[in-house]
Structure 1
């Protein structure tokens, strides 16, 4: 079951939305409805699901409806029509007390504006929500300290907001949301007001926290680079409507229309694609049972000049080159390891392409080994990387077209 399920969710701003809703169902545009009724379409019949433990990014330009949509997810504003379910419970059927408890215990929100109380210490700011819930001081202080440690602010508990930088204040806002230990975090342009370097630090912080806690996060942004960096999946909005939903790779490689194409045309793909998306199967030779002649024959068949050497358990031992293997054969030697280089370039499947470009340019004649738990999982060659960065389709098995 999805953590959040949204069906036909619509929000029309105005005193008499019924007429506007009828026009919307007739596929009238946002502009046409505004002209005919004076009403504004905030969200237009949105339907999607958010899985437990994923970072689901909602992005779009100013006026696209993304901030309205996130406020509909916890009923900070009421929908004109449609439904939102959280853990199978329909928010629309909740009374005020049930909704209040859901917001306090299950869904926390982090805004772009830090919203800190200037005359409360950092610790008191973080424990504020728990204080409102009536939690005993000792317990809420313990939870607040734990949340501050999680966001890297241990030691700042007795300072005041004006003594912290903007990035640190945003960490306090995040800690305050985490102190409630919610299942779901709604983050509305949470990092948009920060300087670029601080913003990247906060993105890293969020990724680290997510790796530890596995929350369900709905993250709102207008920045595609941020969306691609954070999102397990991305929802793109325009004029209140959903344009496309997909993984970062799907958004980049298969944009739904010209609007999405314009979004992604200037993206530095090397910051997005990982090694796993471009790696191919490695030709190998098993040093425990195969010698120079087998290695040379395998290189000839594959039309390659180097081949990686493993043991019977596929543990990576090194690499040999055709020229050196040929010399071994001339000398009548059978131990392949005598010609083997043990210092070889390696990366993991999670390595971003940008972080491995130097390896490809430094040793253009040697493919880069992809290693996990010391075992060879595949290789990366220049061709598949070039194909990925140029926009050619790259499949997960590493073939390109």
Structure 2
């Protein structure tokens, strides 16, 4: 069962002359603006849980309250109302000595602007939390050097922060938090001060470290793409309130309100949605015990020139084509084994869409999606892949495809030319079925052309 590492319960934070009065009025239904005379409400009735080992991202625009929340989680800001529970310990109202102990043992923080001690070396900066714990110098430096190597700074331990680039300084900040060996890491806009390329590199390194260490991370950001890339779950904030909590896929495909929908409309969907999010029921699929006539009937019904073959356990074994199946019928054979071909392309369920374009174009059939055991769980037609990258279902914007300009004829070709689906007819009945299949392929190409037609006067880019 999932265990809770941190829980926030109905948090309020009001800065001003009469914060308690402001909280009472907010609870009674007054708005943030109505209570300005009593104080500025930075956080209003925020509740969430963070599970052990997950990256929980809190995101929102400037002034939404996200940075205030993270400072409430470790006691840097007093809680006006509500509570924060860390590993079963309530931090609101505890004595300062107990709060310091909770921070040393349970929570570390990585700041936006590094917050390194300029007169100390990299190794001494990283070892500083262990020094506060009273760890002997030799032991803390050994631990510091181990973590420094982990974040890719091996050999830089004797340098001063001023001798490092911004990205390297942020690595030192992460190493310092890791050296403290606390379960929970709080990261407040940790990468926002970095150049875009360095920022992406740091995001990828954090994901790699998380796979090894399985820390509980609360990450604050205003960048939606960063939130989508890092977060196991995301809390979206607006004007001090949490308006939606969900997985990146939940936020992107099922926004809770118009604000969230507008917020996510420019997100890079290709880096967020996975094969499992867009796949369809696999067809045509033929059992390995079936014969060539059954395979041909399945292909005819699906208007396809090939079919996937699976075993009894649904594991993907290969594929057969209608041409080869017709040859078996002519020979009077009843097994597909002799014409079974390996599947040139298949993808795991968790593969992001940006990595599916080349496999989809190269695949004769809709792209096969398999689970960790190799079972066929779905397929992705090319047109479905393109449609998944468009705006949400309520959007009126025209779709911008991540491809160079193409003609209707080229779109039809990508979807599969009808001529490629036509097998030599062995009999009059075979010929009729081939014609029927070719007509189906033509209709599919026409539908794709119609779907690609711009809905406004603009062009499909």
| TM-score normalised by structure 2 residue count | 0.79
1:28 is displaced (CA, Å) by 2.2
Partner-residue secondary structure (3-state), 2:243: strand
Structure 2 counterparts to residues 7-156 of structure 1, below 5 A: 7-34=9-36, 36-37=37-38, 39-156=39-156
Name the residue aligned to 2:286: 285
1:31 is displaced (CA, Å) by 2.3
Over 4 Å off, 4+ runs: 311-315
1:100 is displaced (CA, Å) by 0.8
Report the structure number with the largest CA radius of gyration.
2
Partner-residue secondary structure (3-state), 1:47: strand
1:312 is displaced (CA, Å) by 5.2
1:337 is displaced (CA, Å) by 4.1
1:253 is displaced (CA, Å) by 1.7
Partner-residue secondary structure (3-state), 1:326: helix
Name the residue aligned to 1:2: 4
Distance 1:326 1:210 in 2: 53
Distance 1:315 1:29 in 2: 56
Q: Is the 8 A contact 1:56 1:217 kept in 2?
A: yes
Q: Is the 8 A contact 2:15 2:41 kept in 1?
A: yes
Name the residue aligned to 1:369: 368
Q: Is the 8 A contact 2:345 2:362 kept in 1?
A: no
Structure 2 counterparts to residues 380-391 of structure 1, below 5 A: 380-390=380-390, 391=392
1:207 is displaced (CA, Å) by 0.9
Q: 1 or 2 for the larger relative contact order (CA 8 Å, sep ≥6)?
A: 1
1:159-194 deviation digits (Å, cap 9, x = unpaired): 222222211111110010011111111100000011
Distance 1:336 1:18 in 2: 76
Q: Is the 8 A contact 2:112 2:193 kept in 1?
A: yes
Distance 2:200 2:94 in 1: 38
1:207-248 deviation digits (Å, cap 9, x = unpaired): 111111111111000011111111111111111111111111
Structure 2 counterparts to residues 311-322 of structure 1, below 5 A: 311=311, 314-322=314-322
1:353 is displaced (CA, Å) by 0.3
Distance 2:185 2:170 in 1: 14
Structure 2 counterparts to residues 268-283 of structure 1, below 5 A: 268-283=268-283
Name the residue aligned to 2:238: 238
Q: Is the 8 A contact 1:122 1:161 kept in 2?
A: yes
1:304-347 deviation digits (Å, cap 9, x = unpaired): 33212345554433222222221232234455344333251121
When the two chains are superposed, the root-mean-square deviation of aligned CA atoms in Å is 2.1
1:114-146 deviation digits (Å, cap 9, x = unpaired): 112223221111001111211012221222122
Distance 2:333 2:176 in 1: 68
Distance 2:182 2:380 in 1: 40
Instruction: Tell which deviates more after alignment, 247-256 or 59-68.
Output: 247-256
Structure 2 counterparts to residues 158-197 of structure 1, below 5 A: 158-197=158-197
Distance 1:328 1:392 in 2: 46
Q: Is the 8 A contact 1:75 1:91 kept in 2?
A: yes
Partner-residue secondary structure (3-state), 1:114: coil
Distance 2:93 2:34 in 1: 32
| TM-score normalised by structure 1 residue count | 0.90
Distance 2:35 2:361 in 1: 55
Distance 1:131 1:98 in 2: 18
Partner-residue secondary structure (3-state), 1:83: strand
Q: Is the 8 A contact 1:319 1:344 kept in 2?
A: no
Partner-residue secondary structure (3-state), 1:304: coil
Structure 2: unaligned runs, 5 residues or longer: 395-461
1:150 is displaced (CA, Å) by 2.1
Partner-residue secondary structure (3-state), 1:192: coil
Structure 1: unaligned runs, 5 residues or longer: 394-401
Structure 2 counterparts to residues 332-347 of structure 1, below 5 A: 332-342=332-342, 344-347=344-347
